[in-house]
């Protein structure tokens, strides 16, 4: 479970006031909105990555978090399946191609 509450603040400006975000385990959560509202910043906070903003509140993150930022960072020469399995290959493990295909199908890719 991921639970975020409070204000997301960057350079003294409140990007997201009175934030109340609950993300249940085992489900996909997507942050969508116009540029500059704090989606990537909030994602970086949840993923535990360095960020210039601060959360005036509480962040309770239990379990693994995957973040895909605004820049897709896909390998342009690779197909969708190769991009979906790159993590396993970089870790020196055999990719689970069947699971990757199922995930791609669920996403309509």
| pLDDT confidence of residue 69 | 65
Question: Looking at the domain assignment, is residue 35 inside a domain?
Answer: yes
**How high is the pLDDT of residue 72?**
66
Q: Which of 99, 14, 26 shows the shortest CA–CA distance to 55? A: 14
What is the total count of domains within the chain?
2
- What is d(CA 41, CA 14) in angstroms, rounded to the nearest whole number? 12
Residues 78 and 44 in one domain: no
Let me know whether 41 and 80 are in one domain: no
- Please report the pLDDT score of residue 92 as a whole number: 92
Q: What is the pLDDT of residue 73?
A: 74
* pLDDT computed for residue 100 by the predictor: 94
Q: Is 22 exposed, middle or buried (0-12, 13-18, 19+ CB in 10 A)?
A: exposed
Structural domain includes residue 66: no
Taking only the tens of pLDDT, the chain with its 109 residues reads 889 999 989 889 888 899 999 988 888 888 888 887 888 888 888 888 888 888 898 888 887 777 766 666 788 889 999 999 988 888 899 999 999 999 999 888 8
Instruction: Indicate the pTM of the whole model.
Output: 0.59
pLDDT of residue 99: 94
In a domain, 6, yes or no: yes
| Residues 53, 92 share a domain | no
Give me the domain span that covers residue 87. 74-109
């Amino acid at each position: 479970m991921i639970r975020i509450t409070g204000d997301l603040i960057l350079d003294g400006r409140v990007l997201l006031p009175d934030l109340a975000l609950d993300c249940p385990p085992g489900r996909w959560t997507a942050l969508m909105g116009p540029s500059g509202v704090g989606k990537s910043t909030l994602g970086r906070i949840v993923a535990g990555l360095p960020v210039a903003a601060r959360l005036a509140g509480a962040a309770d993150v239990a379990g693994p978090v995957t973040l895909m930022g605004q820049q897709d960072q896909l390998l342009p020469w690779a197909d969708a399946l190769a991009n979906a399995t790159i993590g396993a290959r970089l870790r020196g493990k055999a990719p689970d191609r069947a699971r990757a295909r199922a995930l791609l199908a669920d996403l309509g890719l």
